[in-house]
Amino acid sequence: MLETAGNDVVRADQQSFAFGNGGAGMRPRNRRVGDFGASNLFLALMPERDVAMRAVDIGRDTVRRHDLSSVPRPQDIMHVSLNGVGRYNGVPEETVFAVSAAMSTIRAMPFEVTFDRVSYFSGPNAVVLTNPVRSEEMMDLHVQIAKEMWAVGLTFTYNPRFLPHMTLVYDDKPIPEQLLAEPVIWTAREFVLVRSIIGKSRYEFLDRWPLLGE
């Protein structure tokens, strides 16, 4: 059974969410799609433009300070993952429709996202913005999403120690954790279904849902 997590301090390796196809029998909505290359689908929060620009600046500064060999991710793909959907060739319209229908039932208020440090996740070799104090509102949204996906038959692996983060750059060289002089803060007002086209650093937004509360 899934349980709601409140504010607590965690340090956990991030797990991937392995989702299968679902929503059998649902008729897909007509939608405009991009090319038919391999892609990952996931649900995420997208930061405001000025926040994304600051994240890129922090990434560049981190690369310079620690002499990393990689280039920071571009601002238009900065995001905070909430739940994975799966990897597909092209756009799986029945799955997209099933996810869209399930997510339309989510009820959550806008909430503040705060990242106060740069850290390193050794599993994906990622330099990230994060905060060990988990937001109760974000965790509740994460749990709601998982419950609704389960309810429509989308299989998944749920991580109860989900630690929200924003990836700045991938690099094989670990770096020490560093507190920011000023935290990165913004208000999340919606979440989105993202199609990430593998190898192109490009996102397509297949659907979005405002956080409007009850």
Residue 10 domain-assigned (yes or no): no
pLDDT per position as a tens digit, 43-92:
999 999 999 999 999 999 999 999 999 999 999 999 999 998 988 888 88
pLDDT per position as a tens digit, 153-206:
885 656 778 899 999 999 999 999 999 999 999 999 999 999 998 888 789 999
Residue 146 domain-assigned (yes or no): yes
Task: Name residue, tokens 């996202």.
Answer: 113
| Number of domains comprising the chain | 1
Q: Which one, of 103, 57, 48, lies nearest residue 80 by Cα? A: 48
Q: pLDDT value at position 19?
A: 36
- Note down the domain range covering 83: 38-113+136-164+187-210
161 close to 10: Cβ distance less than 8 angstroms: yes
Residue 84 domain-assigned (yes or no): yes
- DSSP string computed for 114-155: EEEEEEEETTTTEEEEE-SB--HHHHHHHHHHHHHHHHTT--
Residue 76 domain-assigned (yes or no): yes
d(CA 112, CA 106): 18
Q: Enter the tokens of residue 83.
A: 């739940």
Query: First and final CA of the chain: distance in angstroms?
Result: 24
Q: What is the domain-level CATH number for residue 51?
A: 3.90.1140.10
| Residue 202 DSSP SS3 | strand
Residue 28 domain-assigned (yes or no): no
Residue 150 domain-assigned (yes or no): yes
Residue 14 domain-assigned (yes or no): no
pLDDT per position as a tens digit, 70-80:
999 999 999 99
